[in-house]
Structures are given as structure tokens and as C-alpha cells.
Chains A and B, each alone.
Chain A
């Protein structure tokens, strides 16, 4: 074998702390290395052309590139090899940037380590064999998890492109957080007026099947061929019969049920339709609060329902769907604001969250759009907004900025003035973050035209003043003094955290999530809506805090990725699969039992039971290889011999 080694400078990223010329000099002495050089940017066009040229000139049949992580550029260089007429799998990478130059400054030690890593790659490459991908069919249906604005956008874009879409929404209506908003910044247009038609489109689109009040129970399979189990939670109402007339809600005597759509500030009923524009507009019974289901009495809804839709015997139902791609758009949840005891959230009724305030402002909210404070229904004159409640605060483990709280606070200050012209809004802020289009202008308008009083500083304490109002005591760091404000209502601009159970969903989808539970994108800059699992895409705030425009943009981006994926006639499988050595296999069947994908089946070979790998199903994990008592099943590209060769390359005396 004739191996070429290319040691990349990556500008000063590698060259700064690794002597790349020395590494390539050392590498030229490694076995079977016919050519070694250092190069400025191996991944650039001249860099790749240089590799192609060297392959031709030195008759190379294998290439090692020592540069960045293979998670970044392995595919790039495999392409380069293909263009040069080599098999793309005759390629190995040594990661001398993330794992060497960026984690230490000792040039000698780094050079030494880089040379070791190159040696490992060379030893592995010497044992590589050319591989060819197989083709397999795609199921051209897509699952969208989450019916918020990002999921709706992704679903509609896919459906308009002619794809069949299955949408799963955990609540009884789609619309997500946006449906709860009164107005949106910076245009102050009515949220449900722009979202409502999109929701209706989802309901009416012939290509979209909506499963509301449902959850993804399990996902198996792989890109192009996922099978998904969806749990349709018992709603105790036959949705095929329910017309959404709302008679049952009127008559329901159980009034203690939480009204989650109104963020718990409105009256709740055990049987409930979230809001007038709900899609689907169907009633759902909350089993924990229904008197009939808990105590066996009542049944008022059953008596009044003109459609006879109430069904107290309904059970959770599991259905299966086959799809080829998945878009996760599960959104976000609010930070638990009661953690900040000094603000009195949860203790004083007139300390509310921004989303609760949004419901107070909304015409479809519990007060019909009249701002009334929860304690006595009085119209507040002084409203104090406290920003960064659960964002940019290490002490509550939320060091990240939630991104849109500055903007919605400005919007709410403006709306407050619109609703109550003789009111004053005070905003305690840390910094104003308004980087979007027309955003800064918008916050300025809140201050200049609407007279919102912005006070830079943190609030130390909120306490009742004994006369039915609240006193907000905080610092004004620009004036350098303490301020006290008498407030009728305190609104906490609560930060964003990942949706409940997102780690569990990530585990089902086999995608990564960060320490806060947000799903990880394939690359923070260049793959913002892909994940590291082929065929699973992200949209909206499940990936990180995002406002509506960003969520919609990512929804469309995810849809375009799905459409791109499905535009191919067939998909190519990764050929780094397991291979059975039929002579060694004793047919014990352990690999069949351990394979998580069911990619190994037992076959009969001249009367003997043997294992056989279904190549298009095999995902290349190699669990079978380390299970086989005979060493008869080997993962191509990661064979025992290759890994041991790497071990040996490091451990030589």
C-alpha cells in the first residue's frame, strides 16, 4: 500500500502549537507511507487539489489527513478521494486540532502527540478495505413532533411539497406558546390572527394527519425507515363525534382543574376546550379532576352532550406509523419562577409571569382582554416588569440568555399603556438585548413614545406594603442608588428552559442534548437544524431559546432538509457495517440477540445455522463484534485488528 500523509496547518490553529513540518517528516518514516507533507488548509480548494495531485503523482492508494475532528471534515476528504478515483473509505483522519493543538501549548509535547496520532491513523489505514455503499428504499412520510409555530411551519412546508406528514402534539390543541400570546413584537400584530389561519391550514391539509393530545412513545429504525409508536392519551371524549360546541364545559361542576392554556389564572373545568380557535376544537376531560372518573358520580357532561361523544371508558391507545424522517419541534417551557423567593412569585397573587400577563392582555383570555390584577380585579396603574428571571443567572443554573424576554417586556409595556392610558410601566433590566430587525427601534419606542421607565439594575425584594399593593425595592446602577416603587402588579419576565421530558424524547430519537436539555444540532454554525442522527431534524426552541421569526425560519429549514432527503430515489447506506466470517461463525445467535436494530438474522448454510447481516439495516455500532465469542462477526472499518493496531501504535516501547 502507498499511503500519503497530509498534515494541515489550519492557519495558526494547528501550526501555532504543533510543528507540522516535523510531524510530516516523522510520518514519512512510518511503514507504507510513500509521501508526507504539510499543507496550509487541507480542506480548502487548493488543499484538496493538492491531495488529488499527490494521489496521482505518487500513485497513492490511501490517504491520512491530520487536521481537525473527523466529525467536521471526514466526509469532505472522502469526497476528495473519490474525485481522485480512490475508494473513499481508504481514508483516515488524525485529529490534531481539537485533541492536540487547542488543548495544550507545549509545542514539543503537542508535536510528539500529533505524530503519534498520525501513526495510529496510518496503522489503521493499512488495514482498511475499499467499501461500497448499498442502496435502499425510502418511506416518504415525515413525522413532526410538536404543533407549535415551528412544527406547523415545518409540517406545512413538507405537506405543500407533496409529502405526507404525521403531526404529534402533546396538548389537546396545536398552536403552542404562540397561541397563548396576545400580540407579537415588533409589529404588534395579533398573534392568533397570524397563527390561526396556519393552524386551520394544518387541520384542512389533505397531506397532514394530526394526532393531538398524543405523545411519541417509541422510535425505532433508521433514516428512511423509522417506525414510530404514538400514544394517543385517553381524552374520555370521542373526537369523531365531538363538535366542539362547548355545552359540556358550561355544565361541568368541577372547577378546580388547572386551566393550563390560561397559565392557571383563569377558571378551569375538568372538561375543557382550550380556546375558541383551538385546532382540533374538541373537548378533553382531565381525569384527575373529573368527579365521575375520580368518585364515580356526576356525569353532567354526558347528559348534556348533544353528540353523545362522552366516553368514560376510553383508554390510552398506541398506534404505529412508518415514516422516513422526523422533525422535532417540541418547543420550550418556562423557568420555575418561584425559585426566586425574593420576588414573591407563587406567594403574592399580584406577582405573575409574563405569559400569565399575556393571557390577561389577550381578548380570548380569562378577563376578555381587560387588565385586572388577580388579587382584587382592580386595574393596575403601576406595573413593574422584572427581567432576567431565570436567565443569565449562574446561581439558578441558567447562565444563558433567553433571547426574547427583553422584547416581550417592551411589547407588554407598550400594550399596558394601550390598555390603561394613565398607567406607568417600570422595567428593571440588566442589558437590553434587541438585535433583530426593527427590534432596537421597538424598545426605544417603548421608552420614548410610551414612557416606559427603564431602570438598569436588579430587584432585591418585592414585599406587600400593607395597603394591598406591593413595594419593589431594587438598585438603579446608573444612578448608583436604591429605588423603591409602589406597584399594583409585578410581571416577571421568565426565562426559557427546555421542554419537560426533552431528554427522554432525545433518548427515544437517539439524538444528543446539552446539559440544559436542549437538543444538539449537528454543527452550531453549519448544521443548525440537522442532528447527528441521520433523518432527524430540529425546528424551533427545542434546540435553544428562539423567537417566532427564528422558529419559523428553522421550521422551513428543517422542512427543506426533509424535502432534500426525500428528493433522492434511494438512499445510500453507510457501508461500515458488520460482516460475518461464515467459516468462524458457530451459529450461537448471540449477535442476533444483542443487535439493537434487528439487523442480524439466522440463516441456514449447508445445514448449519449461521448469522447473516442485513446490510441496509445495520447501523455500524459493532456491539455484535464485541459480543461474538468466536470473533466471527467484524465491524468493517473498525475491525478488532484495526483497533488493536491503533492500540499498538500508541503503546510501542
Chain B
């Protein structure tokens, strides 16, 4: 799909089914205007999100990635978002190694009742990504660095952190 003549950027959203996806629904039901750039991928829990999905999105040309789950302590699966929080925080520290501006990645917590908050999160993040403009292709060096860490190393590091 052609991006609308630069009016839109590609923003990938990973949302947990129970809170943030519901929050995005609530925002829709309330007809809160939002930028159209974001496309949402529904996952059962933010704990399902492997940071490598996000790396892969950037490598494929995403201009921004937004992850959102239930507020910590309020997880449909008890503790999934705790795992998510640690993995995503480690990933956020790591993202500059790939040559990606850290502002292109954000993780938030939005509950199913917080339609207003979802509108704010999406609008703010989209503006933030637009301020940076389209993503430049990831330099080769960074990709080889990723290749080194992909698979066992990064996963092990993150799991042990968690």
C-alpha cells in the first residue's frame, strides 16, 4: 500500500488484547479522532511480545513502533506485563545500537477504559515520529551487530534479566 504521499508514516502497534486493544476500541466507540498512521497488531498479552518483533519491524522499514499493555499489576495473565516491562526496557536501552533513534519506540500502559488516554498516546507518539520523519534504512554495520545478538544471546540476556 503506498504511503499517502508522505502524509502518513508506518507505525506498528503491538497491543495486548485485554487492556490496550480494548482501550483503542473504547477510543473508537467514543469517536476520538486519531492519526491514521498506526496499524495495530493484536497479541494476547504484552508478555507475548518478543523484542525481536520490534527489531524486525524497524528492519522492514517501520518508522515507529508502539507497544501497549495493561497497567503493571493489572494483567489478565497475572504477570505478563512485568515480563514485557523488563524486556522492553532492556530493548529501549539497546535500540540505539541498531542506529535507531530511541524516540521511534515507545511502550505504554493503557487500560480498556482509557479511551481518552489512548487517543493522547497515539497522537503524541505519531507526532513524535513525524518530527523525526521517515526512517532511514538501518546501516549494514548495525544489522551485522544485530545478527550477532539475534537468537540466543539477546534472548538469554533478556530472559535472565526478567
Tell me the A residues contacting B by CB distance below 8 Å: 26, 69-71, 95, 97-100, 102-106, 108-110, 112-113, 115-117, 119-120, 220, 503, 506-507, 510, 512-515, 520, 532-533, 576, 590, 594, 596-597, 619-623, 625-629, 635, 638, 640, 643-644, 646-648, 650-653
- Is B121 among interface residues, defined by CB-CB distance under 8 A? no
- Is B21 among interface residues, defined by CB-CB distance under 8 A? yes
CA of A643 to CA of B17, assembled, Å = 14
The smallest C-beta distance from A103 to any residue of chain B, in angstroms, reads 4
CA of A641 to CA of B87, assembled, Å = 20
Q: Are A622 and B44 in contact (CB under 8 A)?
A: yes
* Nearest residue, chain A, Cβ from B60: A651
* Nearest residue, chain A, Cβ from B152: A629
Question: Which of B1, B41, B47, B156 makes the CB contact (< 8 A) with A621?
Answer: B47
- Is B50 among interface residues, defined by CB-CB distance under 8 A? yes
Contacting residues, chain A, for B31 (C-beta < 8 A): 102-103
Q: Are B36 and A113 in contact (CB under 8 A)?
A: yes
CA of A520 to CA of B79, assembled, Å = 20
Contacting residues, chain A, for B79 (C-beta < 8 A): 596, 623
The smallest C-beta distance from A304 to any residue of chain B, in angstroms, reads 46
Beyond known contacts A117-B39, A622-B45, A652-B61: 12 more, CB 8 A cutoff: A95-B40, A109-B8, A512-B74, A513-B111, A596-B78, A625-B48, A626-B87, A638-B44, A644-B56, A647-B56, A652-B1, A652-B60
Question: Which of A103, A108, A119 makes the CB contact (< 8 A) with B32?
Answer: A103
CA of A70 to CA of B42, assembled, Å = 10
CA of A576 to CA of B17, assembled, Å = 14
Question: Which of B77, B83, B87 makes the CB contact (< 8 A) with A619?
Answer: B77
CA of A597 to CA of B39, assembled, Å = 31
Q: Are A629 and B156 in contact (CB under 8 A)?
A: yes
Given that A103-B34, A638-B44, A647-B60 are contacting pairs, would A98 and B39 also be in contact in the complex, using a CB cutoff of 8 Å?
A: no
* Nearest residue, chain A, Cβ from B36: A109
What are the interface flags for B119-134 relative to A under an 8 Å C-beta threshold, 1 for contact and 0 otherwise? 1000000000000000
State the 8 A-B residue pairs at the shortest beta-carbon distance, nearest first. A98-B28, A622-B48, A651-B60, A621-B77, A514-B113, A623-B47, A626-B50, A596-B78
Q: Are B87 and A119 in contact (CB under 8 A)?
A: no
CA of A515 to CA of B60, assembled, Å = 37
Q: Are B62 and A651 in contact (CB under 8 A)?
A: yes
Q: Are B21 and A71 in contact (CB under 8 A)?
A: yes
Given that A629-B156, A629-B159 are contacting pairs, would A104 and B18 also be in contact in the complex, using a CB cutoff of 8 Å?
A: no
Q: Are B24 and A98 in contact (CB under 8 A)?
A: yes
Q: Which of B4, B48, B114 has the most CB of A within 10 A?
A: B48
Contacting residues, chain B, for A108 (C-beta < 8 A): 4
CA of A98 to CA of B40, assembled, Å = 11
Given that A99-B24, A99-B28 are contacting pairs, would A120 and B113 also be in contact in the complex, using a CB cutoff of 8 Å?
A: no
* Nearest residue, chain B, Cβ from A637: B44
Contacting residues, chain A, for B41 (C-beta < 8 A): 120, 643, 646-647, 650
- Is B10 among interface residues, defined by CB-CB distance under 8 A? yes
Given that A594-B83, A648-B60 are contacting pairs, would A638 and B76 also be in contact in the complex, using a CB cutoff of 8 Å?
A: no
- Is B94 among interface residues, defined by CB-CB distance under 8 A? no
* Nearest residue, chain A, Cβ from B31: A102
Contacting residues, chain A, for B49 (C-beta < 8 A): 626
- Is B98 among interface residues, defined by CB-CB distance under 8 A? no
> Taking chain B's interface residues, is the majority helix, strand, or loop, or is none over half, making it mixed?
loop
Q: List 6 A-B contacts (CB under 8 A).
A: A112-B1, A512-B19, A532-B76, A594-B162, A621-B45, A623-B77
Q: Are A103 and B27 in contact (CB under 8 A)?
A: yes
Q: Are A120 and B39 in contact (CB under 8 A)?
A: yes
Number of interface residues of B (CB under 8 A): 61
Contacting residues, chain B, for A103 (C-beta < 8 A): 27-28, 31-34, 36, 119
Given that A103-B28, A651-B57 are contacting pairs, would A627 and B36 also be in contact in the complex, using a CB cutoff of 8 Å?
A: no
CA of A576 to CA of B44, assembled, Å = 10
Question: Which of A112, A590, A647 makes the CB contact (< 8 A) with B12?
Answer: A647
Q: Are A512 and B77 in contact (CB under 8 A)?
A: no
Q: Are A115 and B1 in contact (CB under 8 A)?
A: yes
The smallest C-beta distance from A20 to any residue of chain B, in angstroms, reads 16
Tell me the B residues contacting A by CB distance below 8 Å: 1-2, 4, 7-8, 10, 12, 17-19, 21-22, 24-25, 27-29, 31-36, 39-45, 47-50, 53, 56-57, 60-62, 73-80, 83, 87, 111-114, 119, 151-152, 155-156, 159, 162
Q: Are B4 and A112 in contact (CB under 8 A)?
A: yes
* Nearest residue, chain B, Cβ from A92: B42
The smallest C-beta distance from A92 to any residue of chain B, in angstroms, reads 10
Contacting residues, chain A, for B42 (C-beta < 8 A): 70
Contacting residues, chain A, for B78 (C-beta < 8 A): 220, 510, 596-597
Given that A103-B34, A596-B77 are contacting pairs, would A650 and B25 also be in contact in the complex, using a CB cutoff of 8 Å?
A: no
* Nearest residue, chain A, Cβ from B117: A515
CA of A119 to CA of B61, assembled, Å = 17
Q: Are B24 and A644 in contact (CB under 8 A)?
A: no
The smallest C-beta distance from A521 to any residue of chain B, in angstroms, reads 11
Contacting residues, chain B, for A97 (C-beta < 8 A): 28
Given that A627-B83, A643-B41 are contacting pairs, would A106 and B48 also be in contact in the complex, using a CB cutoff of 8 Å?
A: no
* Nearest residue, chain B, Cβ from A591: B159
CA of A439 to CA of B147, assembled, Å = 71
Given that A71-B25, A119-B1 are contacting pairs, would A109 and B48 also be in contact in the complex, using a CB cutoff of 8 Å?
A: no
Given that A98-B24, A103-B34 are contacting pairs, would A109 and B7 also be in contact in the complex, using a CB cutoff of 8 Å?
A: yes
Given that A532-B18, A533-B76 are contacting pairs, would A650 and B39 also be in contact in the complex, using a CB cutoff of 8 Å?
A: yes
Q: Are A510 and B76 in contact (CB under 8 A)?
A: yes
CA of A109 to CA of B18, assembled, Å = 27
Q: Which of A220, A510, A648 has the most CB of B within 10 A?
A: A510
Contacting residues, chain B, for A520 (C-beta < 8 A): 112-113
Contacting residues, chain A, for B45 (C-beta < 8 A): 621-623
Given that A643-B53, A653-B61 are contacting pairs, would A626 and B47 also be in contact in the complex, using a CB cutoff of 8 Å?
A: yes
CA of A37 to CA of B159, assembled, Å = 45
CA of A331 to CA of B14, assembled, Å = 35
Q: Are A512 and B1 in contact (CB under 8 A)?
A: no
The smallest C-beta distance from A602 to any residue of chain B, in angstroms, reads 17
* Nearest residue, chain B, Cβ from A72: B25
The smallest C-beta distance from B135 to any residue of chain A, in angstroms, reads 10
Contacting residues, chain A, for B40 (C-beta < 8 A): 95, 99
Contacting residues, chain A, for B151 (C-beta < 8 A): 629
Contacting residues, chain B, for A596 (C-beta < 8 A): 77-80
The smallest C-beta distance from B147 to any residue of chain A, in angstroms, reads 16
Q: Are B80 and A623 in contact (CB under 8 A)?
A: yes
CA of A97 to CA of B49, assembled, Å = 25
CA of A622 to CA of B113, assembled, Å = 24
Contacting residues, chain B, for A115 (C-beta < 8 A): 1
Q: Are B74 and A503 in contact (CB under 8 A)?
A: yes
CA of A646 to CA of B56, assembled, Å = 11
